[in-house]
Structure 1
Amino acid sequence: MAAFCVGVTGGVASGKSEVTRRFEALGVRVADADLAARAAVAPGSDGLREVVSAFGADVLDADGGLDRAAMRRRVFADETARRRLEAIVHPRVREALRWQCESAPGAYAIAAIPLLAEGGGREAYPWLHRILVVDVPTAVQRARVMARDRVEADLAERMIAAQATRAQRLAIADDVVVNDGPLEALDRHVADLDRRYRALAGG
């Protein structure tokens, strides 16, 4: 079991997945909050029933699952709705991530948590030993969101504004990777961090 847990976070389109993929390639178990969030509102789950109770049946798609695109548009346009959804999903995600990390093999495990700063930071995740922030300038972030999600600039701006600021994320960081260059540069950063985390876990 992994007795040392590292939280990885960053803003939308910062490159968190590229970073966690490199940790996985080094044999580190990664517990993914996005996957845990999907499981939390999977068809037939208590979480989905709670979402329908809060928002109505029109949040479901034709197959009875959560219509994620419609839900995303709704919560990014209404902060009260976003907070209501997070109150349903976040506790389930925290519980799942802690179990996955603590039961993982190896010296340490990683919890990939995009909304770590927004979801309570260290107070909500007291079992994290380190927090790694993947940082990127806002202009780069906006361009990546527009290209990746095929959205207009105003929606990209709202998606970024709905999250914590760069300053808020950096305030909870123990370690920072600036991901504004070529992806190959991440290899060295992750290798250095892997050595550091293995040493900390062993010590």
Structure 2
Amino acid sequence: MQPPQKINIRKSKRLVVGLTGGIGSGKSAATEWFAEQGIDIIDADVIAHEVVAKGSATLRKIQKKFGDWAVNSAGNMDRAAVRQHVFTHPEALIELEAITHPAIREAAKNQLAASTSSYAVLSAPLLIEAAEAGLANLCQRILVIDASEKTQLERASRRDDQSVTKIKAIMVNQLARAERNRHADDVVVNEDDLAALHKQLEPLHQNYLTLAQQLKYAAD
């Protein structure tokens, strides 16, 4: 994978923290902790499913571009068929993302605009990799949840019951740790239990609250 362009973090009157990390790093656990603190979570994975829901404009565009086979008899996107198609036709992935990424970005912007917590967390596994989606440019800070490859493999295989081969295939499509961390403003190394993870997140949360207040006062 080619490294992405250096992210251009845009200025804003409201703090948005982009949260990302490799498979098995503990992104979900970190996101859940922030939610427990009352922070609004905008989840790009959830949005990605919502924008291609049955009857959606995005799904109609996919069907028009790739054919009726992309939609199953129930009117939903045939994810397995589409996944297999883009896996064997790399150019099709580019075409698919050209349809879905703008829709995901627009939905993320709308959810961020509706957020009422002190700051918001935008969680996206490919926040940095998918630079063309523009999600990173909606954020003022990037938080990476980091873990060794060994830990990633152990967690992902235990959680998802996937083979090591499949997990490594997913990791190939994600940035190497050093490259991902290079784009981060904050890095949490998650090699221990949940208590250790939460202990690292607490001071970051307090810092984000302070930064959010500073942005608010600067805007007034």
Separation in structure 1 between the aligned mates of residue 178 and residue 90 of structure 2, nearest angstrom: 20
Partner residue of 2:137? 126
Q: Cα 1:82–1:25, aligned 2, differ >3 Å: closer, same or farther?
A: same
**CA deviation after TM superposition for structure 1 residue 192, in Å:** 1.2
Amino acid across the alignment from 2:54: P
Q: Cα 1:151–1:122, aligned 2, differ >3 Å: closer, same or farther?
A: closer
Separation in structure 2 between the aligned mates of residue 35 and residue 88 of structure 1, nearest angstrom: 17
Structure showing greater Rg = 2
Amino acid across the alignment from 1:147: R
Partner residue of 1:165? 176
Separation in structure 2 between the aligned mates of residue 109 and residue 53 of structure 1, nearest angstrom: 35
How many residue pairs get aligned? The number is 202
**CA deviation after TM superposition for structure 1 residue 123, in Å:** 6.0
Partner residue of 2:37? 26
Residue 104 of structure 2: which of 68, 93, 97 is its match?
93
Partner residue of 1:6? 17
1:122-201 alignment, distance < 5 Å: 125-201=136-212
Contact 1:31 1:111 in 2 (8 A): yes
**CA deviation after TM superposition for structure 1 residue 197, in Å:** 0.1
Partner residue of 2:3? none
**CA deviation after TM superposition for structure 1 residue 135, in Å:** 1.0
**CA deviation after TM superposition for structure 1 residue 77, in Å:** 5.0
Whether 1:50 and 2:100 are equivalent positions in the alignment is: no
Identity of aligned residues (%): 38
Aligned with 2:142: secondary structure? strand
Question: Which sections of structure 2, spanning at least 5 residues, go unmatched?
Answer: 1-12, 215-220
Question: Which sections of structure 1, spanning at least 5 residues, go unmatched?
Answer: none
Whether 1:38 and 2:49 are equivalent positions in the alignment is: yes
**CA deviation after TM superposition for structure 1 residue 24, in Å:** 0.6
Separation in structure 1 between the aligned mates of residue 156 and residue 86 of structure 2, nearest angstrom: 17
Contact 1:94 1:125 in 2 (8 A): no
Q: Cα 1:90–1:178, aligned 2, differ >3 Å: closer, same or farther?
A: same
**CA deviation after TM superposition for structure 1 residue 122, in Å:** 10
Contact 2:105 2:134 in 1 (8 A): no
Whether 1:106 and 2:117 are equivalent positions in the alignment is: yes
Q: Cα deviations across residues 25-45 of structure 1 (Å, max 9, x unaligned)?
A: 001001110111111111111
Q: How high is the TM-score relative to the length of structure 1?
A: 0.88
Contact 1:32 1:113 in 2 (8 A): yes
Separation in structure 1 between the aligned mates of residue 133 and residue 98 of structure 2, nearest angstrom: 17
Q: How high is the TM-score relative to the length of structure 2?
A: 0.82
Q: Cα deviations across residues 4-42 of structure 1 (Å, max 9, x unaligned)?
A: 111111112221111011001001001110111111111
Contact 1:24 1:30 in 2 (8 A): yes
Separation in structure 1 between the aligned mates of residue 25 and residue 84 of structure 2, nearest angstrom: 21
